[in-house]
Amino acid sequence: MTERIGVYPGTFDPITLGHMDIIGRGAKLVDRLIIGVTTNIAKSPMFDDDERIAMVRREVAVLGGDIRVVGFNSLLMDFAESQGAATVIRGIRGVTDFEYEYQLTGMNRQLNDRVDTIFLMADVALQPIASRLVKEIALYGGDISKFVSPAVRDEVSARVLANARSGDR
């Protein structure tokens, strides 16, 4: 029997409880889940690639199973193929996400029709969580503990404090 490998891509800047929900459920659908940590050139990351990879590795270590974290900087379909994946897992929070992901999936199918996409709806309690909003709340001194793990909260708070001290606000 062929091993079922799936890829869950994202910037994870920072990794949220919503991401963790999708990772935990996605890992049950495949034999191996590769979490692909990438940089979205349209976003300004708070953490660099190595920091985000380390953060994701630490967070998923508690889940068990065959979950691997790999950085990539290429087209998603090329990355999926290089990992031997036949499935891409994407989290959907709402209608806006669905419209974007639907279009992206259509484009990806044109690039590589050997890789299918599975959409997982975020848990209802976690649907509003977005890394972008977590960073914004933190930058304005808000409490992000409902959206990220305690370790990630501490890392984000430390980064916000360091940036404030250096005048990088």
pLDDT in tens, 54-74: 999 999 999 989 999 999 999
Note down the domain range covering 16: 5-126
Cα angle vertex 150, ends 64, 47, to 5°? 90
Q: Of residues 82, 93, 109, 157, which has the active-site annotation?
A: 93
- How many Cα atoms are found within 13 Å in the side-chain-facing hemisphere of 53? 14
Domain at 74, CATH number: 3.40.50.620
Q: How many structural domains does the chain have?
A: 1
**Residue 64 placed within a domain:** yes
Q: Is 19 a catalytic residue?
A: yes
Active site residue 25: no
pTM to 2 decimal places:
0.92
User: 98 pLDDT band (50/70/90 cuts)?
Assistant: confident
* Complete DSSP assignment for 63-125: G-SSEEEEE--S-HHHHHHHTT-SEEEEEE-SHHHHHHHHHHHHHHHHH-TT-EEEEEEPPGG
pLDDT at 169: 46
pLDDT at 95 exceeding the cut of 70: yes
Task: Let me know if residue 55 belongs to a domain.
Answer: yes
Question: What is the predicted pLDDT for the residue at 99?
Answer: 87
Residues 115-162 pLDDT 10s:
999 999 988 888 889 999 999 999 999 999 999 999 999 999 999 988
